[in-house]
Amino acid sequence: MNLTLFLLFPLFTAVAILIAQNSKQIRTIALGGSLLQLGMAVKLLLAYYKERAAGNTSQMLFEYIQNWFTPLGLQYHIGVDGISIAMILLTSFIVVAGILVSWNMETLSKEFFFLLVLLSLGAYGFFISLDIFTMFFFLEVAVIPKFLLIGIWGSGKKEYSAMKLALMLMGGSALIMVGIFGIYFNSHTSNGAHTFDILLLSKMNIPIEIQKLFFPFAFLGFGIFTAIFPFHTWVPDGHASAPTAASMFLAGISMKLGGYGCLRVATFLMPDAAHAYSWVIILLATIAIIYGAFATMMQTDLKYINAYSSVSHCGFVLLGIGMLTHTSITGAVMQMVSHGLMTALFFAAIGMIYSRTHTRMVAQLGGLLKIMPFISTVFVIAGLSSLGLPGFSGFVSEMTIFMGSWQNPDKMYRLATILACASIVVTAVYILRAAGKTIMGPITNQSYEKLSDASWNEKFAAVVLISGILIVGIAPFWLINLIEPGTEIIINKLGAVISH
Partner 1 sequence: MLNEYLQVLKFEWMLIAIIFILLFIKVGSKEWKNETLLYSINFLLLANLIVGFFYNLPGSLFNGMFHSNDLIFLQKSILNLGVYLISLIAYPWLKEHKHLLEFYILLLSTLLGMFFMISSGNLLIFYLGLELSTIPLAALANFDLEKRKSSEAAMKMIISSAFSSALMLFGISLLYGVTGSLFFNEIALLIHGGPMEIFIFILILGGFSFKMSVVPFHLWTADVYEGAPVAVTAYLSVISKSAILFIFMTVMFTVFRNLEPQWYFMIFLMSVLTILIGNLFAIRQDNMKRFLAFSSIAQVGFILIGLSGVSKMGMASVIYFLLIYLFSNIAAFGVISIVSASTGKENVSDFKGFYKTNPFLSWVMAIALFSLAGVPPTAGFFGKFFLIMAGAERGNYVWITFAALNMIISFYYYLRVVKTMFMDENENPIQKILVPALPKLAMMICLLGIICTGFLSWIYETIYNLCNF
Other beta carbons within 10 Å of 306: 30
Which three-class secondary structure string do you get for the chain?
Answer: CCCCHHHHHHHHHHHHHHHCCCHHHHHHHHHHHHHHHHHHHHHHHHHHHHHHHCCCCCCCEEEEEEECCHHHCCEEEEEECHHHHHHHHHHHHHHHHHHHHCCCCCCCHHHHHHHHHHHHHHHHHHHHECEHHHHHHHHHHCHHHHHHHHHHHCCCCHHHHHHHHHHHHHHHHHHHHHHHHHHHHCCCCCCCCCCCEHHHHHHCCCCHHHHHHHHHHHHHHHHHHCCCCCCCCHHHHHHHHCCHHHHHHHHHHHHHHHHHHHHHHHHHHCHHHHHHHHHHHHHHHHHHHHHHHHHHHCCCEHHHHHHHHHHHHHHHHHHHHHHCCHHHHHHHHHHHHHHHHHHHHHHHHHHHHHHHHCCCEHHHCCCHHHHCHHHHHHHHHHHHHHCCCCCCHHHHHHHHHHHHHHCCCCHHHHHHHHHHHHHHHHHHHHHHHHHHHHHCCCCCCHHHHHCCCCCHHHHHHHHHHHHHHHHHHHCHHHHHHHHHHHHHHHHHHHHHHHHC
Site string for partner 1, 60-79 (x = CB under 8 A): -------xxxxxx-x-----
Contact residue for partner 1 among 46, 174, 363, 425 (CB under 8 A): 174
By CB under 8 A, which span of 168-176, 293-301, 366-374, 424-432 interacts with partner 1?
Answer: 168-176
Q: Which is nearer to partner 1, 47 or 152 (CB)?
A: 152
Q: Which of 35, 155, 156, 171 binds partner 1 (CB under 8 A)?
A: 171
Which of these ranges, 167-175, 284-292, 295-303, 362-370, lies near partner 1 under the rule CB under 8 A? Answer: 167-175
Nearest-approach distance from CB 172 to partner 1, in angstroms? 10
Tell me: does residue 157 bind partner 1 (CB under 8 A).
Answer: no
Q: Which is nearer to partner 1, 170 or 421 (CB)?
A: 170
Residue 222 CB neighbours (<10 A): 28
Q: How far apart are CB 83 and partner 1 at their closest, in Å?
A: 24
Q: Which listed residue (27, 77, 158, 232) binds partner 1 by CB under 8 A? A: 158
Q: Which is nearer to partner 1, 257 or 431 (CB)?
A: 257
250 binds partner 1 (CB under 8 A): no
Which is closer to partner 1, CB of 170 or CB of 283? 170
Among positions 89, 94, 148, 289, the unique one binding partner 1 when judged by CB under 8 A: 148
Residue 210 touches partner 1, criterion: CB under 8 A: no
Q: Which of 11/47 has CB closer to partner 1?
A: 11
CB of 388 to partner 1, least distance (A): 37
Which x/- pattern, by CB under 8 A, does the window 123-142 give for partner 1? ----------x---xx-xx-
Shortest gap between Cβ of 297 and partner 1 (angstroms)? Answer: 32
**Residue 294 to residues 298, 299, 426: CA-CA distances in angstroms?**
7, 9, 7
Taking the least distance from each CB to partner 1, the nearer of 65 and 144 is 144
Q: Min. distance of Cβ 277 from partner 1 in angstroms?
A: 18
Residue 152 contacts partner 1 per CB under 8 A = yes
Select 75 or 247, whichever has its Cβ closest to partner 1: 75
- Assess 182 for contact with partner 1 (CB under 8 A): yes
Residues 6+ apart with CB under 8 A from 106: 23
57: left (phi over 0), alpha (psi -120 to 50) or beta: alpha
- To partner 1, the closest distance from the beta carbon of 1 in angstroms equals 24
Does the footprint of partner 1 cover residue 167 (CB under 8 A)? yes
Identity of the residue, 141 or 297, whose beta carbon is nearer to partner 1 in the bound complex: 141
Distance of closest approach, residue 92 Cβ to partner 1, in angstroms: 21
Task: Name residue 401's amino acid.
Answer: I
Give least dist CB 330 to partner 1, A. Answer: 32
CB of 24 or CB of 157, closer to partner 1 = 157
Q: Which of the stretches 180-188, 256-264, 331-339, 390-398 binds partner 1 when contact is defined by CB under 8 A?
A: 180-188
Q: Which one among 30, 97, 166, 290 touches partner 1, defined by CB under 8 A?
A: 166
Task: Tell whether residue 453 is a contact of partner 1 (CB under 8 A).
Answer: no
CA 225 from chain centre, in angstroms, equals 9
Residue numbers at the binding site for partner 1 (CB under 8 A): 67-72, 74, 133, 137-138, 140-141, 143-144, 147-148, 151-152, 158-159, 162-163, 166-167, 170-171, 174-175, 177-178, 181-182, 184-185, 213, 217
